[in-house]
Amino acid sequence: MNKTSEIEFQSWLKNSEGLNLEFKKAENSFNESKDLPDYCSAIANEGGGKLILGVSDNKTITGSKAFKNTYHTVPNKILQSIGIRVDIEECYFSNKRVLIFHIPSRPSGIIIASTGNYKYPMRVGSSLMEMNSEKIKEIVTETIPDFSSTIVEGFNISDVDIEAISIFSALWAQKQNKPEYKNYPIDKTLKAIGAMTDKGLNYACLILFGKKERIDELLPGAEIIFEWRQEKKIRYDSRINWREPFFKIFDNIWGAINARNIRIPFHEGFIQREIFSFTEEPVREAVLNAVTHRDYRINSASIFIKASPEEIVINSPGGFLPGITQSNILEKSEWRNRRIAEIFEKAGLVERSGQGMEIIFGSTIKEGKGLPGFSGSDQYAVQLTIPAVIKDENFILYIEKIGNEKQISLSFEEILELENIREKRKLHNPIFKNKFLDLGIIERIGNTSGSKYVLSHKYYAFKGKPGLYTRIVGISRDEKKHLIVKHIQKNKKGFARDFVDIFPDLTQKDISNLLQELKKEGKISHEGTDKSGCWVLLN
């Protein structure tokens, strides 16, 4: 951030306040919890601008004591509260202290929510108000132009790397079963795949096929950095930087990761099997996904691949696209750089659009490593973590055993649901519930709306942990009713609070159902009111 000059500041004073410029006197203070997030959010929602403290409504420089000695801590607080990074500059004009908040524009399709007096503030003249439904709809339906289709000024055919385009042509010919593609002239190939138009060569061409020196000059952020750490620590043990045409280096990236791969042996009876920490297909998919989806307009950041024996983390500049979240990324797909994605598809590097995440998630689940995650992602970067350590080798064998015994092939969605059940998460897609129950893969605990599902006894027996199954499932329904009768027999009566203490994991409805069953069986009856009454034995 360049320091604001007095000439620039004076030019702002000559302008009227509006959507992108706000002056506040704030002579002694400025409300940090309400007004600050509101104005920062509103200005960001209008495309970014300046909030200036220490200037009155009539443009007189009054000076401000707001955030004296603490202004350098405010950007982090703003980031934590509304999710955008605001740079703050402390300046002195006419010997008066002025604070300038440099507020970036919201990402396309994203509304910045405030933690102040408004949820989604917007500017109306020099005032704030709640964003109306028309404005909200206008923002969320915005589309992001395809950066990779944008023509690069000064980038010509002579700047294309011959080796990179040759590698692509061979893959393209093989994928399409057209040997003649390998002999196409460069310009014919580039036009055929959309990397070149009558207006010139685009950024997809530069990123995938451009010579290193031209990438250095025109798009230095198009870089992939690999770091290896033998243990979790701040400093890396080795590091490799690639700023070259992607088709020239994509095999080298996997080679660098694979060179540090760890073989993980395990046994299936007397047969030794093995899994590797890093599996080629999901790692390649993750790298391709990062190259396709990163925001190349952020030239100050690169794609980072950080690997260790525990995990591989891929950080890609640019947050999730509008409408994409961590929770729906497996169901929805959007492209930030569609032209790059289409060229990858032509080369056979990806099978079809939107399938990459299924491959990544499906692979780690089948290998017993658990689920990948997006912890650490924000609106400036997407961070994908792929686990490298086997959590449950028996789960791998159990899925295979199911397929062999039942002569079925489980889909990705079904395997994902089984992983959710294994991790004791809620069953997300009820469409598979009855199929799993009929196949004996899972079992239901409880008969009410609070029922939960667990992997069947077969899994825990296969795992060699039948005791764990018993603890998870708990005692049977008849055993629970027997405990109720035993309690009443011992204490002459039983109150509702007693049964809550006996069965802390059951809902009140579950307990009530047990009591009503015993009542119908003629074993107990209720005396007194519903709230203060008690249960007694009939025999």
User: What is this structure's pTM?
Assistant: 0.62
The separation between CA 465 and the C-alpha centre of its own chain, rounded to angstroms, equals 34
- Give the Cβ contact number of residue 521 at 10 Å: 11
* Topology of the domain covering 477-537: Arc Repressor Mutant, subunit A (1.10.10)
* Topology of the domain covering 144-391: Heat Shock Protein 90 (3.30.565)
Residue (of 196, 189, 188) closest to 169 by Cα position: 189
CATH number 1.10.150 is the correct assignment for the domain at 393-473? no
- The domain locations on the chain are 6-140, 144-391, 393-473, 477-537
Instruction: In whole angstroms, give the CA distance from residue 87 to residue 427.
Output: 44
| Angle, helix 35-45 to helix 74-82, in steps of 10 degrees | 70
Matching CATH topology for 6-140 and 144-391?
no
The separation between CA 238 and the C-alpha centre of its own chain, rounded to angstroms, equals 27
Instruction: In whole angstroms, give the CA distance from residue 270 to residue 262.
Output: 22
Residue with tokens 């002056």: 23
Q: Is the dihedral of CA 204, 206, 211, 215 positive or negative?
A: negative
Which long-range CB contacts under 8 A does 260-265 form with residues at least 24 apart? 260/228, 260/307, 262/309, 262/388, 264/389, 264/390
| Angle, helix 508-520 to helix 477-491, in steps of 10 degrees | 80
- Cβ(276)–Cβ(402) under 8 Å? no
Q: Give, for all 539 residues of the chain, the pLDDT tens digit.
A: 678 999 999 999 988 777 889 999 999 999 999 999 999 999 999 989 999 999 998 899 999 999 999 999 999 999 999 989 999 999 999 999 999 999 999 887 789 999 999 999 998 877 899 998 888 878 876 767 889 999 999 999 999 999 999 999 999 999 999 999 999 999 999 999 999 999 999 999 999 999 999 999 999 999 999 999 987 777 889 999 999 999 999 999 999 999 999 887 765 554 556 788 999 999 999 999 999 999 998 888 999 999 999 999 999 998 887 667 777 787 777 778 999 999 999 999 986 555 678 889 888 888 888 889 998 888 789 999 999 988 877 777 777 777 788 788 878 788 888 888 787 776 667 778 788 888 878 777 766 556 777 777 777 776 777 766 666 666 778 888 999 999 999 999 999 888 988 888 788 888 999 999 999 999 999 999 877 899 999 97
| Right CATH for 6-140 from 3.30.360.10, 3.40.50.300, 3.40.50.920, 3.30.950.30 | 3.30.950.30
Token pair recorded at residue 237: 């043990």
